[in-house]
Amino acid sequence: MADIIEGSTPAGVRSSAQRRILRLAMPVIGENLLQTLLGVVDTILVAGLGAAALAGVGTALFVIPVLIAVLTPLSGGAAVLVAQAHGAHDRARVAMLARQALMWSILVSIPLAILGGFGSELMMSWFGLTPDAHRIAVEYSQITLGTVTTLAVMTLLGGVLRGVGDSRTPMLVTGLVNLFNIGLSWALIYGAPGIPALGASGSAWGSCISRLIGALILLGLLWRGWSSVQLRHTPGAWKPSWPVGRRIIGLGLPAAGEEVLILTAIAALTPLVAPLGDHALAAHRIVMNVLSVSYLPGIGFAIATTALVAQAVGASLPRDSRALTNAAALWASLWMGSIGVIFFIVPEPVIRLYGDDPHLIALGAPIIRLVAAAQVCWALTFAFGGALRGIGDTRTPMVISSIAHWLVVAGALLLDRMVSLDLMTIWLLFVVVAPVEAWFLWRAWRRIDLRQVRPLT
């Protein structure tokens, strides 16, 4: 960590950077947790309908992270451009970018909605579900994809607000969405006075209606003017501009590619784990779930770093960019390192949240201890990857992180042919690759002369 905190940075700048990173990152962490809870609540609410409903909804929920990955080019690209314009105190450009990003998010979501109507049957057939679970999964994914515009608008407007330094508002709105989702989904699943019981598909409608409410709240706030963003109509403001749309999508496309490549790399490991038995596959999925929770602070600090570094670029403050990244690396390491310590000391209670099977605990607990050792390395990948995106370099994190994950897949395939592969070996590969990924991202960031970085236009 000695190279991360540069002694040449004045103490006052370092202190200010740490406060700014924390102030922006904490609500993002909270928002990510609340977004995760939406899926958890849907799963819990349909559990009373039986195993088929639980399996169907649980499988269909896989659609949500894929959708978010597809929408990343708009939300991520818009957030960087908005943040740079905000750093330059160009409110007119902030408003223009927000309007254009909103229009393009709606246009891009239309093909996804059509895909939901015609492609859900094929997508869900890949998972080999029982007929009842398959039917439920198809219905849930059709509703979710068919109403994807609500998710697109909510994701985009949240990204715009984070670009101008307001992560608290998206978090609070997501909290309201969770509250609406509990009441609406329960009523639509099991019925209520004047409301028919829709079964498992009711949970999909409850989530979509709740997201629609959240999107309308954010749209209303920004329409009237909120956190330096004003969406109120001006002549020609809502006509889609291809040059602006191309810049937004082009900037965010590598980030989306990174998400998709990582998701497919993780999915590619499933056929290697499945022959090891049901307990191994269950332990593998539990570790993945646990890891996704441990990533929440890192993701929060990555998003905060991207926004604040982009603002510093817009304001032509290269020293701030370096100090903000150092602060993010430090705080992300402390947060995720602390989580790693907890995982290492008490892995068994974490596994018991999913079941008391002794065989499952025996398989999963050592792996959770293993991934605890890599938490700090993963924290650094989040911080330095976020900083690179803030200066407009979304390609480098995509290349480094995607190669790292696919190296794990390649290594597992090679070992599977040479020796008897077990679950511990697969996860050991992740831990071995983690410091290499962090080092390459750190080197890429350190080699940039921030004095030469200019805002994107």
Do the beta carbons of residue 456 and residue 80 sit within 8 Å?
A: yes
Residue 3 φ then ψ, to 5°: -75, -15
Burial group, residue 348, by CB count within 10 angstroms (0-12, 13-18, 19+): exposed
Residue 309: closest CA among 5, 14, 84: 84
Query: Residue 119 is which amino acid?
Result: G
Query: Residue 72: what pLDDT?
Result: 65
DSSP string covering 304-356: HHHHHHHHHHHTT-HHHHHHHHHHHHHHHHHHHHHHHHHHHH-HHHHHHTT--
Residue numbers of the chain with a pLDDT score lower than 50: 1-7
Report the Cα–Cα distance between both ends of the chain, in Å, rounded.
35
**Cα 129 to Cα 136: distance, rounded to the nearest angstrom:** 10
SS3 165: coil
Do the beta carbons of residue 380 and residue 295 sit within 8 Å?
A: no
Query: Residue 125 is which amino acid?
Result: S
Do the beta carbons of residue 339 and residue 33 sit within 8 Å?
A: no
Burial group, residue 263, by CB count within 10 angstroms (0-12, 13-18, 19+): middle
Residue 192 φ then ψ, to 5°: -155, 170
Query: Residue 202: what pLDDT?
Result: 92
Query: Residue 132: what pLDDT?
Result: 86
**Cα 237 to Cα 69: distance, rounded to the nearest angstrom:** 27
Q: Tell me the sheet residues that pair with 174.
A: none
Q: Where are the domains of the chain?
A: 11-452
Q: Tell me the sheet residues that pair with 139.
A: none
Q: Provide the token pair at 267.
A: 């999915």
**Cα 331 to Cα 18: distance, rounded to the nearest angstrom:** 8
328: Cβ–Cβ under 8 A, 6 or more apart, which residues?
Answer: 21, 25, 301, 302, 304, 305, 383, 386, 387
Query: Residue 9: what pLDDT?
Result: 57
**Cα 150 to Cα 346: distance, rounded to the nearest angstrom:** 40
